[in-house]
Structure 1
């Protein structure tokens, strides 16, 4: 940006004089303004700053002396240098009046060009210097403002940062203690600044020795050495904190060293890492235990089965019991869950008849391990009662009661009104599993084979607590009855499932029920393409496809008026939020429950009887 010109002001009531003076003074970098009267001159001086004013002494109205006095009486024009220009001889009185009015010199007419240019040159250079000094002053002010802004920003960052910033001199005396350090260590700057680190009380001798070693390294002013380590430091309240420490050693021009420390509290991160490691180990343990249980159930069910069909029924029933118990525990984030909820789940699954089950007992919670064991026990008891015991005849019933005592929970299963009972000649896998699940570590069970009905009594010494401030689970009388024969015959079904074996299993079950699987989609793009063009009567939709949400697929099915259900290992809270009323079949699925849900959704009101315009039929 070009520099502003230096300005001179010429005041004379005669135009020819103005032109002559301007011609003599004209030069590069100089702007000359002309005024024919004092009023015009004052108006110009309100708009511009002048390095020199040349005033004619004799002017009509306000003369040069009076104009000079006005200029000296005004703050804006008080410092403008004035040279009087006159054609008459000036006596001492008039000369004194001129200097008193603020003049610095006189020039007499006729004007000597050399004298005029010489005197004007002095004020031109003074004006340049004043302009340069003013520009430098403005630059320095802007630099100072930028510095102040940077310092304010740096202080704000330091004060609001989660890092504790500590600066020490070469003798490890604290010279700066940020607000982050105050928050982290619980000690104020007033307490800490000026203290040597050994007396500050938050670092151990070993920590201080490490910092001394950093200072002992040869600092390079061009690239100051940087260090990092981890310390266990002591908070003001005496609590130990795990911290990451980053250090920079700086050296001044005189050679004096300083140490800048940035300290980050990683205590919660360390604890989270320990919890994560523990949870991964626990998850590994639970998965392997679950797989081992499934393996044992499969092998023992196969050993006791008379044919494949009976094996399938017994194995799937036991697997479903485990799965539903896992779902209950997942809803409770693998903390304790209510016994009543487990019983309700057995009723919903059809293992127990809610109308013929009479239960009584206090509200109790079961630990995860106890919940899984009781799920298998109740499943076996309900299955046996439905096959051979009280629930195998219309008039039979089961009385389930429990009591909580200091030594543990006593649970009693009593069957009444069923066929005459006799002690069995041999133990099946169900009875063996009940025995193995109900014993160990102080637990026990007893079986009383009364003719009028068997009584099982279990004692659980661990994993049982009284329920605290939780409402009792509501009993749901919605057994999963098998669908009527042929209800799915001829139906065209779309299967959206990313697990090949699960998709194959679902397809076989549907085909066994007489349905036709028109397509299987395993990816989101494939599902969207297939769902938009195939003709089908209903669809089965996985909860997600290889980690991708299925909201768009569900919306497309709704837009085409195709009824569907979710088949997923996820709970309801992890499924698309806009489709919370869509039925859910949880994996691993029960074939009868799957067919029942499909029959139900075929008679539910659809979003549309026909696809909307623009979509193929």
Structure 2
């Protein structure tokens, strides 16, 4: 390095001679080392690098010639220049021996200072140049090392990146192809580098026109982006976002560097999301249209407002429960057995008087909704006029499935004598709609010993591959109310004004006192902490905020509560899985039955009987 001194070595067995040479050679940036013997000189040369060595020819033991030969025989000292110092007259033979031993020159004693300094100056400058070359070499090696490290890092990032890196020349011939591009397109580097992007089948002509336009752009420091659809090796198209930059090598040659991002999954996700939004919109409007039709037809066929409320609410509940089943199945197919179990848990069918048999099948969403209304109507009619209206009656539900066709039979037995109705009501129309039209159909046989309905469905039915045990049905809902709500002080926690108003009317109609309505979690916490309460109705979610804290506070105060929610049990506070759940839309009789049961269990209800 330039800040390190140049070193000369003086080897002489006489100390005065060394001192004289050292005095003549002294200058800045020069260090003169001394050695009194060949052995001492060799030890010094193992430690230091020397630009020049002065060797006395006449030394006891190993003389200057022999030391020079030793130096030439060792790799480390072979290149050290040697000047022999001698007082003897030189004949040709001795001079030749000195040059043969590796000397570059001679200096004769007595020493001429001018000659010594002149010869030493040459080697001093050579030493300086060697140091400078070493510095430049080290700097170049450091630069090369940093370059190699940077290239290695860049290559590692490039190879491991989810992006594909591709470089093309102006003729769109591929010059570089990263590991990411290999993974993305299934094309190896060896197989595609050197081929045209179009000719290789990687991109089409439309994409090539886009890339050529980038190459021909006059924009300074350009940065381009576009969406193209290159082809995988197996031929399928891949949706990609491409970002391009023009590179110049300084010699007038340009290339196009591309960063390619595979957005196929994102595109598919966007398409699925758009499809789902459209499907959701369709289902919501279809559901609203069904509710509208049920409301209009129920009103048209009802003899009184009370009769309308009962029929409409029951049908709406059947539709809502079917939606819950489908929601749990992410709106895929759901088992027929589960639909029948839902009719039992809602109280429409009595499990002790129901006989069913048939192969395990699944129902598509639209078929499920229609059949839910059908079973509700059949069960309601059986409870009012048929087999389930007397203690001895039974209902037999059987079905067969063959070649995509489901044939379900509803047969009643043990009930009062059957007579055909004078006219077909809306319930009969709903039952007949179960077939779904086309080849599907529903027929009825008004047998005196029990009505028989035969329903054929040709679409939306699939066989279950693995028959799983039917879920245990919840017990049917009691039609008697064990206690009264009269005088009960109730906190209503509900953020939907219309629903809150409807609940308040039902509670007050049952004799309860709604002492407060909370529409947010802070309001509910404040009211639950300060008010004297017998009961609370708790929505599962208030303006997007969970109600866990409200439930904990009520529990600490020993205030019974039940959830009123459109959410399933899995979305309600987990710490209160045993709390009763009234699903929206609610049935007034179910609301009263559950609440009076809760009060009776806590010992707060007043003994009595209320109308269902």
**TM-score, with structure 1 as normaliser:** 0.79
20-29 vs 41-50, which deviates more? 20-29
Distance 1:412 1:91 in 2: 135
Q: Deviation of residue 47 (structure 1)? A: 3.5
323-332 vs 37-46, which deviates more? 37-46
SS in 2 for 1:485: strand
| Distance 1:34-1:391 versus aligned 2 partners, 3 A rule | farther
Distance 1:458 1:32 in 2: 117
| Distance 1:20-1:207 versus aligned 2 partners, 3 A rule | same
Match of 1:417 in 2: 414
Residue 484 (1) aligns with residue 482 (2): yes
Distance 1:283 1:101 in 2: 100
Match of 2:139 in 1: 139
Q: Deviation of residue 371 (structure 1)? A: 0.4
Residue 74 (1) aligns with residue 71 (2): no
Match of 1:121 in 2: 121
| Distance 1:73-1:308 versus aligned 2 partners, 3 A rule | farther
Contact 1:397 1:415 in 2 (8 A): yes
Distance 2:237 2:566 in 1: 43
Match of 2:401 in 1: 404
Match of 2:338 in 1: 341
* 1:590-605 equivalences in 2 (<5 Å): 590=587
SS in 1 for 2:128: helix
Match of 1:281 in 2: 278
529-538 vs 157-166, which deviates more? 529-538
Contact 1:214 1:227 in 2 (8 A): yes
137-146 vs 587-596, which deviates more? 587-596
SS in 1 for 2:455: strand
| Distance 1:53-1:485 versus aligned 2 partners, 3 A rule | farther
What are the ranges of 5 or more consecutive residues in structure 1 without an aligned counterpart?
A: 606-617
Match of 1:330 in 2: 327
Distance 1:131 1:529 in 2: 85
SS in 2 for 1:358: strand
Match of 2:605 in 1: none
- Identify which of 312, 315, 318 aligns with 2:312: 315
Match of 1:588 in 2: 585
| Distance 1:588-1:140 versus aligned 2 partners, 3 A rule | farther
Match of 1:350 in 2: 347
| Distance 1:370-1:125 versus aligned 2 partners, 3 A rule | same
Match of 1:520 in 2: 518
Residue 456 (1) aligns with residue 453 (2): yes
Contact 2:386 2:412 in 1 (8 A): yes
SS in 2 for 1:346: helix
Contact 2:230 2:240 in 1 (8 A): yes
Contact 1:192 1:200 in 2 (8 A): yes
Distance 2:582 2:34 in 1: 97
Please provide the CA RMSD for this pair: 4.5
* 1:32-71 equivalences in 2 (<5 Å): 33=33, 39-55=39-55, 65-71=65-71
Output one character per residue of 1:107-156: Cα deviation in whole Å (capped at 9) or x when no partner.
56666655554444333332232222222222322333333344444444
Output one character per residue of 1:79-106: Cα deviation in whole Å (capped at 9) or x when no partner.
23344556x4464466555544444344
Q: Deviation of residue 284 (structure 1)? A: 0.5
Distance 2:527 2:191 in 1: 72
SS in 1 for 2:330: coil
Match of 2:470 in 1: 473
* 1:529-608 equivalences in 2 (<5 Å): 543-544=540-541, 546-547=543-544, 567-572=564-569, 574=571, 585-590=582-587
Distance 2:39 2:550 in 1: 86
Match of 2:606 in 1: none
Residue 380 (1) aligns with residue 342 (2): no
Q: Deviation of residue 398 (structure 1)? A: 1.4
Contact 1:507 1:517 in 2 (8 A): no
| Distance 1:331-1:470 versus aligned 2 partners, 3 A rule | farther
Distance 1:2 1:519 in 2: 89
* 1:90-489 equivalences in 2 (<5 Å): 91-92=90-91, 98-107=98-107, 114-196=114-196, 199-215=199-215, 217=216, 223=221, 225-302=222-299, 311-406=308-403, 408-425=405-422, 428-436=425-433, 440-481=437-478, 484-486=482-484
Q: Deviation of residue 6 (structure 1)? A: 3.5
Output one character per residue of 1:519-573: Cα deviation in whole Å (capped at 9) or x when no partner.
73625x7778888999978876655555556677778888898877655434455
89-98 vs 334-343, which deviates more? 89-98
Contact 1:57 1:63 in 2 (8 A): yes
Distance 1:575 1:108 in 2: 109
Contact 2:214 2:224 in 1 (8 A): yes
| Distance 1:77-1:558 versus aligned 2 partners, 3 A rule | farther
Distance 1:349 1:318 in 2: 12
Q: Deviation of residue 326 (structure 1)? A: 1.2
| Distance 1:101-1:219 versus aligned 2 partners, 3 A rule | farther
